Amino acid sequence: MNNFILSNLNKLKKIDIPNPEIDLRILLNYSKYAKNEIILSNINRNDINVKKFNKFLNRRLKHEPVSKIINKKSFWKDDFFVNEFVLDPRPETEGIIEESLNLIKNKKRNIKILDIGTGSGAIAISLSREFKNASITAIDISDKAINVANKNIYNKKLQHKVKIKKVSLDKINTSFDLIVSNPPYLSKSEYKDLSIEIKNFEPKIALDGGKDGLNFYRKLAKKVPEIMNKDAHLIIEIGEKQLNSCKEIFKFSGLSYIKKVQDLQKKDRIMLLSKL
Ligand SMILES: C[S@@+](CC[C@H](N)C(=O)[O-])C[C@H]1O[C@@H](n2cnc3c(N)ncnc32)[C@H](O)[C@@H]1O
């Protein structure tokens, strides 16, 4: 490895960036002139736009996630445009897509789906890939998140299948067969203890679930049953310690609890409910 690589790698290691080699390789590849993939062991400095690379590296040295620097994050079967106004879609949220597929066996069904708090649009877009005849509505209250979701939908030419609306959950008055949501669910103290990578670079509105983290589940329990068709389902992401509280919140909602699903870290992550 040449000195250029070693010195930049050391800068990342010094501040405990978890996978410095991977990050460095990505940032180099996003600042290259050359067409070929850059590999750390065999790099020619002339292939790199050094000014651009230094800007990227300085952002990473301030703990900005690579996804926000390169404006790209993978989820399910797509890459999504992301920026500071949307939460990066996360692997554990893919459980919502998996459970939707487990639930609705006929992928050609003409169903109506609502994604509450769509952010980048990752859940809505992934569901539209799987359920080709579904009509999908995706809502968010953040103007800037709506812009990002629209950009992703436009880039993937899915305007005819996924409708994005800037509206709060309580204003929805049509009914759906499947409602999904990854709501903000961190408590005040969890939010306070977040890493710099999340706290400084992810939008607070996407994470802050109020004092005990459960505010949005209370809203869902109050509103969602009235916008569910007969036999409709609700699939939501929950915090790892929120299963019992969420069961309690939905107890008298008119929805019945079906099951929970754990993520790859064996933490309770997804909850399934159905209309009684
Ligand atoms: C945890 S993020 C989820 C983003 C995306 N669905 C994902 O899973 O990657 C929660 C989203 O809910 C939105 N939100 C917050 N309050 C809302 C409300 N009352 N109605 C609709 N969306 C809301 C936030 O703006 C944010 O984009």
Residue 175: what pLDDT?
A: 98
- Non-local (6+) Cβ contacts of 258 within 8 A are 233, 272, 273, 274
| pTM, entire model | 0.96
In contact, 250 and 273? CB cutoff 8 Å: yes
Q: Measured from the CA of 169, which atom of ligand 1 is nearest?
A: 20
In contact, 2 and 43? CB cutoff 8 Å: yes
Cα 203 to ligand 1 centroid, rounded to whole Å:
10
- Non-local (6+) Cβ contacts of 107 within 8 A are 101, 130, 131, 132
| C-alpha closest to that of 227 among 90, 105, 114 | 114
Number of Cα atoms under 13 Å in the Cβ half of residue 212: 9
Residue 1: what pLDDT?
A: 64
Residue 58: what pLDDT?
A: 98
Cα 116 to ligand 1 centroid, rounded to whole Å:
7
Q: Measured from the CA of 118, which atom of ligand 1 is nearest?
A: 6
Provide φ and ψ at 111, rounded to 5°: -105, 160
Each domain of the chain, given as residue ranges in start order, spans: 3-62, 78-275
Number of Cα atoms under 13 Å in the Cβ half of residue 88: 18
Q: Which tokens hold the place of 272?
A: 């399934």
- Domain 78-275 in CATH 3.40.50.150: yes
Separation of first and last alpha carbons in the chain: 63
Residue 36: what pLDDT?
A: 86
pLDDT, tens digit only, all 276 positions of the chain = 688 899 999 999 999 999 999 999 999 999 999 788 888 888 888 899 999 999 999 999 999 999 999 999 999 999 999 999 999 999 999 999 999 999 999 999 999 999 999 999 999 999 999 999 999 999 999 999 999 999 999 999 999 999 999 999 999 999 999 999 999 999 999 999 999 999 999 999 999 999 999 999 999 999 999 999 999 999 999 999 999 999 999 999 999 999 999 999 999 999 999 997
Residue ranges lining ligand 1, Cβ < 6 Å: 87, 89, 93, 116-120, 122-123, 139-142, 145, 168-169, 182-184, 205-206
Among 142, 143, 148, which is best to mutate for testing ligand 1, by the most ligand atoms less than 8 A from CB? 142
